[in-house]
Structure 1
């Protein structure tokens, strides 16, 4: 109504709240142009009058302040005036403080732009938390870059040159660690690439923008694909039987139980199995649910990988459940709070492999824990188990459109039948080589 009056009279209309004498007044100035300006009018300590703009009025609170918001801001100015302060001076000091804060933040960002390669790499590694590669990313950098090349690790990331990274990789290749060199090159390339994209990608940590990365030096390095070829070591049937006999004879421990579970479940990834908690085990239904975090952004929404628990595995599962404190605790742990690391389980595999070598039980040379998953798949294939069922057991190759959107069969009967055949082969019991196929 006041705005209409202002337009009709072509004069400003003032609406003023009542207030305590000497404390000033909250008022709204309605102009003929339609503007509605919230103000605070008060008397300075020296007796002169002053009017401070609070903001524009908008009943929706979109293009300005609502009446409630405007009165709250004016109320703060009333308190300043009541305390004998010069309101305009206080507001000016606040504005200067805000400007100084913004300048300090800008200076901090510019300083961070000179941040080290190690600092940038740590931010990148933190984006991988919850994924299987997180520990490996940190470990490879520490062992093969920041350790032997501390000056390079401390250098501003934006000033690192491809030639310097080449020297790091050359050291690894000369030491016969070509595969590690290829991994480090891939990790560095990903870290620099993420820092370059951070300015435009709101899903990436803002901290990465501060490093001011304009070029990716790792892009200039060769991919070292010759060191990333697929491995092919799988235990022969006699080696598999010898391995299993020694594992069964090993003293009871969380590592032994975890390794037996990995094998009975068809060669599961140790990292996934070691995260298992009691709430993911259904003893009555004889199933276990692993959370598959492998893949881009999978850590935020892991795929549920359900497997049957065979009678042979049940004693191991019951023993771990009995030793676990609560439903959220890791089942494979030495202290009940922190899950075993896969490196701890790998040590048991290395010990067994060493004993097998000394006993003359190795036919194709040394093996490591990562070869056991390949061994399981190889022998299940030899038993005539179809590739579809093997994929369902080992949770790989399931990212296609058909698997994600159309195939809703849980494959539990096929997985149970296949794992029974695999367990009999593992334990050197007679098996019927009958092909286990996915439903047509």
Structure 2
């Protein structure tokens, strides 16, 4: 035991230890602080322990391998002494060093687990935020919703209706309210709808405000059911829970429907529309053609192409689209042409014969539906729309149809024939399934339009109208 007596250990002594030799012991400074113990059990490097007493028993705690050379792994003698001193402090403060170290190790493991759990939770939260962000990004804006609605109408509505929706979107929504259009559709409230409709109402376009509100209601209804539609092209989702436009009320304003031109007004309009500043020649002839054909719907006339005119048969083929069915509920309407109407077409041919449409300004598309309204407004603003300094009351292009109806009525043309010429009331089961041959009604239509042309000739002050009767079969071709 004398060899194990407490003494100072140095590097030479530790390096000199042989396998299986007695341990080297170095007491730490101070009473009861324990000691360093070096053991070499085999050919490997000596191992250092901290030794202390607990309840009368020796306890060894391994500190590490002694490093004999700089190339070996392990600890130097000063480093081992420092570790032992730290253990001595623990023994002094807590008594059972092993228990304390085990407690620290458990705490470390628990902390590592907590850190790992926190990292996993943070990653999960980040993934969830990313998922929610992607969902939010996929949710369509108000503008995208309305454009999606327009696309849904392309196969059901006419090209004119789609074009009007696109125009309303640009003029009433996107241009004046870009920030509202950029909002998510699910965030739109009724006050945003009011922000869109109030400026329209305030500028006096009350009927348009009501129509705009109807379109907005339809757009949100489309969004509410679009996400569950099979084969939908647009991948945007809207996550709508309600329709914010449906709760907005617009006071119903009925546009005047009794205006009809008197004989004097009709004659003045006919004689002067072509010389009115701001009214193009094709537009002026459009009004005359509408009148000459008995007051056909001006929109239907505008939509015709040259292919719709069969001059040899003396007819023009119009397509009527009314109601929610749009294009799917379209029906043809053959209108017989008088000599007067043919002469107007010959003049139009000289102007627009190189284009697909007779009724166009530049040939890229037919007149937009608002152009006739502006042209009538230009005529009403001119000095021609007055007699004896008394201006004519305002009217719209659609009032020409009513004017022709009343002209037929005043001159004794049967109401049934008048309705037949103007395609009034040609709907229902009987019209759809039985009286669905437009050519079958041509003889009666020719008789009615001939009577109407005679009445028009009187209004226009024409003497004799033998050369303007309804065109029969094999009539001369345009430009012939």
Range class of TM-score, shorter chain: 0.5 to 0.7
Query: What pairs with 1:130-169 in structure 2 (closer than 5 Å)?
Result: 130-169=158-197
- 1:411 corresponds to: 441
> Helix, strand or coil for the counterpart of 2:176?
coil
**Match for residue 141 of structure 2 among 107, 116, 127:** 116
The alignment status of 1:127 with 2:157, answered yes or no, reads no
- Quick one: distance in 2 between partners of 1:192 and 1:408? 37
Q: Secondary structure at the match of 2:373?
A: helix
In 2, distance between residues paired with 1:230 and 1:110?
47
SS at match of 1:288: strand
After TM superposition, the structure 1 = structure 2 runs for residues 208-287 of structure 1, keeping only pairs within 5 Å, are: 210-225=237-252, 227-228=253-254, 231-247=257-273, 253-287=281-315
Residue 299 (structure 1) aligned to one of 314, 322, 327? 327
1:314/1:106 CA distance change after superposition, 3 Å: farther
How far 1:309 moved relative to its partner?
A: 0.8
* Structure 1 position 370, deviation (Å): 2.7
2:376–2:396 Cα contact (<8 Å) kept: yes
CA contact (8 A) 1:117 1:155 kept: yes
CA distance in 1 between partners of 2:135 and 2:414 (Å): 56
Match of 1:353 in 2: 380
Whole-angstrom distance in 1 between the partners of 2:132 and 2:450: 63
Contact 2:314–2:338 under 8 Å retained in 1 = yes
* Counterparts of residues 326-345 of structure 1 (less than 5 Å): 329-345=356-372
Say if 1:158 and 1:319 are closer, same or farther in 2 by CA, change over 3 A: same
Please say which of residues 121-130 and 158-167 is displaced more in the overlay.
121-130
In the alignment, what sits opposite 2:476? none
Cα shift at 1:430:
8.2
CA–CA distance in structure 1, aligned partners of residues 285 and 305 of structure 2: 14
C-alpha change, 1:361 and 1:282, in structure 2 (3 Å) is farther
Deviation at 1:190, TM superposition (A): 1.1
Aligned to 1:40: none
CA distance in 1, matches of 2:390, 2:316: 33
With normalisation by structure 2, the TM-score equals 0.59
* Aligned-residue offset at 1:271: 2.7
In 2, Cα distance between equivalents of 1:109 and 1:292: 44
Aligned twin of 1:290: 318
The DSSP-based 3-state class of the residue aligned with 2:317 is strand
Q: Which residue of 1 aligns with 2:4?
A: none
**Match among 421, 432, 438 for residue 451 of structure 2:** 421
Find the residue that maps to 1:207 and give its secondary structure: coil
Query: Please, which moves more after superposition, 175-184 or 389-398?
Result: 389-398
Unpaired runs of 5+ residues, structure 2, are 1-129, 464-480
Judge conservation of contact 2:419–2:425 (CA < 8 Å) in 1.
yes
TM-superposed CA distance for 1:285, in Å, is 0.8
**Is 2:427 the partner of 1:399?**
yes
Gaps of 5+ in 1: 1-103, 432-440
* CA distance, structure 2, for counterparts of residue 208 and residue 415 of structure 1: 51
- Whole-Å separation in 2 of the counterparts to 1:421 and 1:248: 25
Q: Which residue of 1 aligns with 2:96?
A: none
Q: Write the distance in 1 (CA, Å) between the matches of 2:174 and 2:263.
A: 43
Q: Give yes or no for the alignment of 1:313 onto 2:341.
A: yes
Relative to structure 1, is the Cα distance of residues 407 and 208 closer, same or farther in structure 2, using a 3 angstrom cutoff? farther
Question: Retained in 1: the 8 A contact 2:268–2:385?
Answer: no
Question: In 1, Cα distance between the equivalents of 2:353 and 2:391?
Answer: 43
- 8 Å CA contact 2:299, 2:369 repeated in 1: yes
Q: Which of the two has higher C-alpha Rg?
A: 2
**Per-residue CA distance 1:346-367 (angstroms, 9 max, x = gap):** 3332222222445557676212
SS in 2 for 1:212: coil
Q: What is the rounded CA distance, in whole Å, between the counterparts of 1:136 and 1:416 in structure 2?
A: 34
Q: Deviations over 1:196-221 (max 9, x none)?
A: 22244558x54286223331111112
C-alpha distance in 2 between matches for 1:105 and 1:377:
64
**1:338 Cα shift?**
2.5
